[in-house]
């Protein structure tokens, strides 16, 4: 028990005297802004999410404005952040709070946790920062700091490990200052007890850190699972006719839900881009004589958590009107208004592409 009390005291002292990490939402008491920052930072680095946070706050200063915004506009602002289910849940929760709770966030943990897109970590963050509720945040930073300090060999991705670390985090929590303590622990993991090359020489906890004393810091935290990644090949046909191209909104149960894409031919492996077109047009009941190829792009790649997306873009000109089931025509100069996945915006931003819109 003494070691746990010492851990808490040393951590809070470091936070008050040494922690120089600044972020616009630190010290924030508005649950809307805290919630927005936490959703943006899920699966996202702070330096990447910072500008998104500022843009969202500027355009949607309150939850009513976010709830009433066209969904396409919200997805457009989110464009490039990835993990688009977060954005979908953000919209759903904003509408729920705006319409059913008069724009007021619930003030107890269980009610916050019941909101769409909010898990235990986010609920603890909102509850402790906005309402001083005594709930500990438990994320990757917390797993890492606790695993090293107490030399816990239980895998953090196991059921037992998640329970053990969650229980320990709640034991360590300063119940009188939960928001300050949670912020201190998160910042400490991000700036001192980092995943790679931790700053052990500057660590105020090192005299009592079991992993440091055993010279085994790099061995913690322990994981038991490895992620199996697959590759997908996406060939996009950018079919232009009189200043318009064909696009569609992606549906549910796959990556990039609610974002737009061009005509798509997905292959199990890499193929010649030229071979995609005859098969694509025949499946859509169109003659091969209706198009000419403008260019074929280089191969683009994007690494997602569980899969690698590879593919190319084939720009063609149509010689007469053609329809494609499930797709709509959009003027090229309106494409910049639509939300696209990063895989496609990277192509559109390419200076060598005639569709350069960004």
Q: Measuring CA to CA, how many Å separate 48 from each of 53, 88, 257?
A: 10, 19, 21
By CB neighbour count within 10 A (0-12 exposed, 13-18 middle, 19+ buried), where does 224 fall? Answer: exposed
Element spanning 241, H or E: strand 230-241
For residue 131, give both structure tokens.
């309402």
pTM for the whole structure: 0.81
**Per-residue pLDDT tens digits for 316-334:** 999 888 888 889 999 998 9
Angle between helices 159-172 and 140-149 (to 10 degrees): 80
Check: CB of residue 262 under 8 Å from CB of residue 355. no
Tell me how far apart the terminal alpha carbons of the chain are, to the nearest angstrom. 57
Q: What is the CA radius of gyration of the chain?
A: 25
Q: What percent of the chain has pLDDT over 90?
A: 72
Q: Please write the tens of the pLDDT for every residue from 33-51.
A: 999 999 999 888 888 999 9
Cβ–Cβ under 8 Å, residues 185 and 10? no
C-alpha 146/C-alpha 167 separation (Å) is 11
Which residues are catalytic, by number? 38
Cβ atoms of 318 and 241 closer than 8 Å: yes
The pLDDT assigned to 109 comes to 96
- What are the residues whose beta carbons fall under 8 Å from the beta carbon of 275, sequence distance 6 or more? none
Given a cut of 80, whether residue 284 has pLDDT beyond it is no
Per-residue pLDDT at 275: 83
Q: Which residue has the higher pLDDT, 222 or 349?
A: 222
Q: For the segment 51-88, what is each residue's pLDDT rounded down to a tens digit?
A: 999 999 999 999 999 999 999 999 999 998 888 899 99
Interatomic CA distance for residues 3 and 26, integer angstroms: 28
Confidence band (pLDDT; 50, 70, 90) for 356? low
The yes-or-no verdict on residue 22 having pLDDT over 80 is yes
Q: Phi and psi of 20, rounded to 5°?
A: -105, 5
Per-residue pLDDT at 355: 61
| Average pLDDT value over all residues in the chain | 91
Q: What is the mean pLDDT of residues 102-120?
A: 95
Give yes or no for residue 357 having a pLDDT over 60.
Answer: no
More confident residue, 82 or 180: 180
Domain architecture of the chain: domains with CATH: 2-219 (1.10.340.30), 230-348 (3.90.79.10)
Q: Sign of dihedral through CA atoms 256, 259, 265, 271?
A: negative
Taking the CA atoms of residue 115, residue 116, residue 120 and residue 125 in that order, the dihedral angle to the nearest 10 degrees is -70
Three-state DSSP at 296 gives strand
% residues pLDDT > 70 (the chain): 95
CB 234 within 8 A of CB 310: yes
Q: Distance from CA of residue 213 to its chain's centroid?
A: 36
CA dist 17 → 21, 27, 203, 274, 310 (Å): 12, 16, 13, 63, 48
Contact 121, 137 (CB under 8 A): yes
Position 119 pLDDT exceeds 90: yes
User: How many other CB atoms are found less than 10 A from the CB of residue 16?
Assistant: 10
Task: Give backbone dihedrals phi and psi of 28, rounded to 5 degrees, phi first.
Answer: -70, 140
Give per-residue pLDDT as tens, 125-166.
999 999 999 999 999 999 999 999 999 999 999 999 999 999
Bridging pattern class, strands 291-296 and 300-303:
unpaired
Helices (H) and strands (E) in the chain, counts: 14, 8
Residues 233-256, mean pLDDT to the nearest whole number: 91
Mean pLDDT of 340-355: 82
Q: Structure tokens of 147?
A: 């695993």
């Amino acid at each position: 028990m003494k070691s746990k009390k010492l851990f808490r005291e040393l951590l809070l002292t470091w936070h008050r005297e040494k922690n120089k990490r600044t972020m616009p939402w630190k010290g924030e008491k508005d649950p809307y802004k805290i919630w927005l920052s936490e959703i943006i930072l899920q699966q996202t680095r702070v330096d990447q999410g910072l500008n998104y946070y500022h843009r969202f706050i500027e355009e949607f200063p309150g939850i009513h404005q976010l709830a009433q915004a066209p969904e396409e506009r919200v997805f457009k602002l989110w464009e490039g952040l990835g993990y688009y289910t977060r954005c979908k849940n953000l919209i759903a929760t904003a509408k729920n709070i705006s319409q059913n709770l008069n724009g007021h966030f619930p003030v107890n943990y269980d009610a916050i946790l019941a909101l769409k897109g909010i898990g235990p970590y986010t609920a603890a963050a909102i509850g402790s920062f906005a309402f001083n509720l005594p709930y500990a945040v438990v994320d990757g930073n917390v797993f890492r700091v606790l695993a090293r300090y107490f030399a816990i060999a239980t895998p953090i991705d196991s059921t037992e490990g998640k329970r053990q670390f969650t229980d320990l985090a709640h034991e360590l929590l300063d119940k009188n200052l939960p928001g300050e303590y949670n912020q201190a622990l998160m910042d400490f993991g991000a700036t001192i007890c980092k995943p790679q090359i931790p700053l052990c020489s500057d660590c105020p906890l090192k005299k009592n850190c079991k992993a440091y004393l055993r010279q085994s810091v790099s061995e913690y935290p322990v994981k038991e699972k490895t992620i199996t990644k697959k590759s997908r090949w996406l060939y996009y046909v950018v079919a232009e006719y009189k200043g318009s191209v064909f696009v569609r909104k992606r549906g549910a149960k796959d990556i990039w839900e609610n974002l737009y894409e061009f005509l798509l031919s997905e292959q199990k492996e890499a193929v010649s881009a030229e071979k995609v077109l005859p098969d694509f047009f025949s499946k859509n009941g169109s003659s091969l004589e209706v198009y000419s190829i403008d260019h074929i792009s280089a191969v683009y790649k994007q690494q997602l958590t569980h899969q690698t997306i590879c593919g190319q873009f084939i720009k063609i000109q149509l010689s007469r009107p053609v329809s494609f089931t499930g797709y709509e025509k959009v003027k090229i100069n309106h494409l910049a208004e639509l939300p696209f996945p990063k895989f496609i915006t990277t192509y559109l931003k390419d200076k060598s592409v005639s569709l350069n819109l960004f």
